[in-house]
């Protein structure tokens, strides 16, 4: 299944790209200053390290600028993580403690991976740094470093976990309709945009547009609270009748939409009949509720996605004009 490129994912990748670019430039400026200062002080090994960091950061920034944004940030922060793994070993080889570099690793890691694997990586990195420090500094200083690093890991992990859960909640409420809890129109539009961007030969989708029959009369006769209840119950019954991997979208008002992957129009019609029958037989507490469904197939070699969606909409319109509580396929209209 392809990675979903929704607005949330794009925003996260863009922000990580921008942060990487700003940090890359700042690191380059800082390394020039540190390299020059250490050279003047006669500290050749630490000056050498500064020039190595400068070179790696410069190459990473170039890669950041040349790569797509959803990859650029990952490439940059991965390069910095590898550099930070190298630094303690460099310090051990030259007999210089480099534990101050270790404090950069925990916040960097949460930019790359999820909170729980990041926690494992932070702990393992801390153990590795302590191992490189043992021959270089007194035990009490190692204890001090380990204590400070451990507290930093605790705070970073807690923040990353909270941010991750908050982002999950935000994404859910951004993607889902508040009344029915099915996917909303914005998410449906993003799915259409993704289809438009990835027009590989052989791909096909079948669109189902679903409308609750006589819904205005339900609202007028029984009130909007009852109308909302009907929409919620119809959505819940449709979801129950669908396979778990088929999303239901609230297309607008009393309309719903379904995108079937790798399905023919005939398969869409068969599913539509099952959905229509499920709603027709459901007990809506003394209210008679039915749905009409328009079905249209789209292939990547055909016209654009919007045209296929228009065919489904026209089929739905004709299904309602033909008496409602029925399924109409777009191919039957030509």
List the catalytic residues. Answer: 254
Rounded to whole angstroms, the Cα distance separating 10 from 70 reads: 7
| Nearest CA-CA partner of 11 in 69, 67, 61 | 69
- Give the strand order in the sheet containing 248-252: 248-252, 255-261, 204-212, 291-299, 327-329
| 332 CB neighbour count, 10 Å cutoff | 12
Is 97 within 8 Å of 142 (Cβ atoms)? Answer: no
Give the CA radius of gyration of the chain.
29
Is 195 within 8 Å of 205 (Cβ atoms)? Answer: yes
| Nearest CA-CA partner of 226 in 213, 215, 235 | 215
Four-residue CA torsion sign, 120, 125, 126, 130: positive
Extract the tokens encoding 28: 């380059």
Extract the tokens encoding 202: 């052989």
Rounded to whole angstroms, the Cα distance separating 42 from 20 reads: 32
Tell me the residue length of the chain: 334
């Amino acid at each position: 299944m392809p990675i979903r490129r929704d607005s949330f994912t794009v925003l996260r990748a863009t922000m990580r790209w921008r942060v990487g670019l700003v940090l890359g430039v700042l690191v380059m400026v800082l390394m020039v200053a540190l390299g020059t200062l250490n050279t003047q002080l006669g500290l050749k090994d630490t000056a050498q390290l500064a020039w190595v960091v400068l070179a790696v950061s410069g190459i990473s920034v170039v890669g950041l600028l040349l790569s797509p944004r959803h990859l650029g940030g990952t490439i940059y922060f991965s390069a910095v993580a590898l550099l930070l793994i190298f630094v303690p070993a460099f310090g051990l080889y030259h007999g210089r403690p480099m534990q101050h570099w270790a404090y950069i690793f925990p916040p960097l890691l949460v930019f790359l991976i999820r909170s729980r694997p990041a926690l494992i990586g932070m702990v393992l990195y801390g153990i590795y740094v302590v191992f490189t420090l043992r021959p270089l500094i007194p035990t009490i200083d190692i204890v001090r470093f380990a204590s400070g690093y451990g507290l930093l890991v605790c705070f970073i992990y807690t923040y990353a976990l909270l941010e991750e859960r908050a982002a999950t909640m935000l994404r859910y409420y951004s993607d889902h309709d508040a009344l029915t809890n099915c996917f909303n129109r914005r998410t449906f539009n993003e799915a259409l945009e993704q289809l438009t961007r990835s027009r590989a030969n052989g791909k096909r989708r079948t669109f189902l547009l679903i409308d609750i029959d006589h819904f205005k009369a339900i609202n007028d006769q029984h009130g909007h609270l009852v109308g909302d209840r009907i929409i919620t119950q119809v959505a819940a019954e449709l979801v129950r009748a669908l396979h778990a991997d088929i999303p239901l979208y609230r297309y607008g008002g009393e309309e719903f939409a379904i995108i079937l992957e790798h399905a023919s129009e005939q398969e869409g019609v068969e599913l539509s009949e099952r959905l229509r029958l499920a709603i027709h037989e459901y007990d809506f507490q003394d209210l008679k509720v039915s749905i009409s469904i328009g079905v249209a197939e789209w292939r990547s070699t055909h016209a654009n996605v919007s045209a296929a969606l228009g065919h489904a909409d026209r089929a739905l319109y004709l299904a309602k004009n033909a008496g409602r509580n029925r399924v109409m396929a777009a191919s039957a209209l030509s």
